[in-house]
Chains A and B, each alone.
Chain A
């Protein structure tokens, strides 16, 4: 009798202690989970690639990186939680609006150089997690550099019409007949990783040419010839295996042993190499399932330019 009471008391104490532990641990644990998820997605979304002026050793996420396009030069804004120069005064709703509707905290239209046409497909949970992580970053006081754009695109309210034409807001639609890995890849490629923003050609108004999705952009950012990532054997990555793509997104090595060196090297360093192997594989699975598109290769311009300059020396 006596011993059973002792046992019961001990049991009760143990249960109480356990309950306390659970109560104490849950909120903190959940917050940690959100933060971890946020960091992971922040990486996957490649925010730091554009919002850090790495070339000039700029502070992380304080913006200022130049994105040269045929519409002029965009300077990425400061997205650290600094109240005055960053997004410290923004609410989660403001952030959500920017990411998924393409309008900032003052309801102004954002240039689609910011890839909200992709981010619009992010889930509620993921937007919240990214916001939590971004808010926890170190605030940096650095004024935004104004964009240097062609006159015909410098009037922001006109973006409204661009959005009417080319922006299709709405959540990611998983395809139930496809395996989970494929859907995960589709979400990573089309929503989070926004691969198509660089790897799809744009029309004269800067709208993505949907029929040529992922077939590369000869007039890419900073004058780059962005490669075709559809599985076309001749002009795309049709000769790559799933493993080759997974490897490339991890180390930057192509199947023939070349190593990425341009903006994609930044994307690999800051983004895709931090993903889990399963996620990199999911991206590969999705890319390999795309319809192959053959593109016309053009001559390399850099040769001619070099010759012209040197011929007169």
Chain B
């Protein structure tokens, strides 16, 4: 009786150990993909929210700083969101993200600088400068999506 239990335990353990790499591998990319999609969505949401304040559509000037700070935090290392192996599953990231890594890293760095410039413009508080800097950030989003994100249903 005791021996049977032990043997069964060993068997289950053995199977688990054998399956572990597969299970871990299978779960991990989907999590990071979901995470980066959420971060990207949050970035978009903060940028859109900041734009609405700057454009005078809504009056939440006291929250503008927080939006911009969040944007700075979450665009500070975009390449880290795209580790090797996170290229399959439910993602629209193109293979170019990994195949043309140097270019991808450069674009991410450019974005970081544009966001920093946006933050400076917001600190300066001049409407025209803020609008221009916002447009610059958007340009980068668009350009990068063009080259590194698949269209729907590709």
Across the interface, do B48 and A256 meet the contact criterion of CB distance under 8 Å? yes
Chain A residues whose C-beta falls within 8 Å of the C-beta of B135 in the assembled complex: 251
Across the interface, do A259 and B45 meet the contact criterion of CB distance under 8 Å? no
Residue-by-residue, is A240-268 near B (CB-CB < 8 Å gives 1, otherwise 0)? 00010001000111011111111101101
A247–B154 Cα gap in the complex (Å)? 26
B92 interface neighbour in A227, A251, A256, A302, Cβ under 8 Å: A302
A67–B124 Cα gap in the complex (Å)? 46
Across the interface, do A268 and B47 meet the contact criterion of CB distance under 8 Å? no
A8–B144 Cα gap in the complex (Å)? 68
Across the interface, do A243 and B46 meet the contact criterion of CB distance under 8 Å? no
A261–B40 Cα gap in the complex (Å)? 14
Across the interface, do A224 and B154 meet the contact criterion of CB distance under 8 Å? yes
Please report which residues of chain B, range 100-140, place their CB below 8 angstroms from some CB of chain A when the two chains form the complex. Answer: 134-135, 138-139
Check if B75 is an interface residue, CB within 8 A of chain A. Answer: no
Chain A residues whose C-beta falls within 8 Å of the C-beta of B43 in the assembled complex: 257
| Count of inter-chain pairs, beta carbons less than 8 A | 89
Across the interface, do A306 and B91 meet the contact criterion of CB distance under 8 Å? yes
Across the interface, do B45 and A257 meet the contact criterion of CB distance under 8 Å? yes
Chain B residues whose C-beta falls within 8 Å of the C-beta of A252 in the assembled complex: 138, 141-142
Across the interface, do B88 and A306 meet the contact criterion of CB distance under 8 Å? yes
B44 interface neighbour in A224, A259, A263, Cβ under 8 Å: A259
Interface size on B, residues (CB 8 A): 31
Chain A residues whose C-beta falls within 8 Å of the C-beta of B48 in the assembled complex: 253, 255-257
User: B83: shortest Cβ distance to chain A, in Å?
Assistant: 16
User: A283: shortest Cβ distance to chain B, in Å?
Assistant: 18
B153 interface neighbour in A223, A251, A256, A261, Cβ under 8 Å: A223
A224 interface neighbour in B45, B46, B153, Cβ under 8 Å: B153
Across the interface, do B154 and A223 meet the contact criterion of CB distance under 8 Å? yes
Chain A residues whose C-beta falls within 8 Å of the C-beta of B153 in the assembled complex: 218, 223-225, 298, 300-302
User: B3: shortest Cβ distance to chain A, in Å?
Assistant: 39
User: B63: shortest Cβ distance to chain A, in Å?
Assistant: 15
Check if A310 is an interface residue, CB within 8 A of chain B. Answer: yes
Please report which residues of chain A, range 278-313, place their CB below 8 angstroms from some CB of chain B when the two chains form the complex. Answer: 298, 300-303, 306-307, 309-310
Q: Given the interface contacts A253-B51, A257-B48, does A302 sit within 8 Å of B154 by beta carbon?
A: yes
Across the interface, do A303 and B90 meet the contact criterion of CB distance under 8 Å? yes
Q: Which of B45, B51, B57, B142 has the most CB of A within 10 A?
A: B142
Check if B152 is an interface residue, CB within 8 A of chain A. Answer: yes
A279–B145 Cα gap in the complex (Å)? 26
Chain A residues whose C-beta falls within 8 Å of the C-beta of B69 in the assembled complex: none
A301–B151 Cα gap in the complex (Å)? 11
Check if B89 is an interface residue, CB within 8 A of chain A. Answer: yes
Across the interface, do A262 and B151 meet the contact criterion of CB distance under 8 Å? yes
B46 interface neighbour in A218, A257, A307, Cβ under 8 Å: A257
Check if A269 is an interface residue, CB within 8 A of chain B. Answer: yes
Check if B149 is an interface residue, CB within 8 A of chain A. Answer: yes
A300–B41 Cα gap in the complex (Å)? 19
Across the interface, do A222 and B90 meet the contact criterion of CB distance under 8 Å? no
Check if B49 is an interface residue, CB within 8 A of chain A. Answer: yes
Residue-by-residue, is A79-112 near B (CB-CB < 8 Å gives 1, otherwise 0)? 0000000000000000000000000000000000
Please report which residues of chain B, range 21-43, place their CB below 8 angstroms from some CB of chain A when the two chains form the complex. Answer: 41, 43
A302–B88 Cα gap in the complex (Å)? 10
- A-B contacts, 24 of them at CB < 8 A, read A224-B152, A225-B151, A225-B152, A251-B134, A252-B138, A252-B141, A252-B142, A253-B47, A256-B45, A256-B48, A257-B47, A258-B41, A259-B138, A259-B141, A260-B142, A261-B142, A262-B151, A263-B151, A266-B146, A298-B153, A300-B152, A302-B92, A302-B154, A307-B88
Known contacts A253-B141, A266-B146, then 16 further A-B pairs from the complex at CB < 8 Å, ordered by chain A residue: A223-B154, A224-B151, A225-B151, A243-B57, A252-B141, A257-B48, A258-B44, A259-B142, A259-B145, A265-B142, A269-B142, A298-B153, A300-B153, A301-B153, A302-B92, A307-B89
A residues neighboring B (CB under 8 Å): 218, 222-225, 227, 243, 247, 251-253, 255-263, 265-266, 268-269, 298, 300-303, 306-307, 309-310
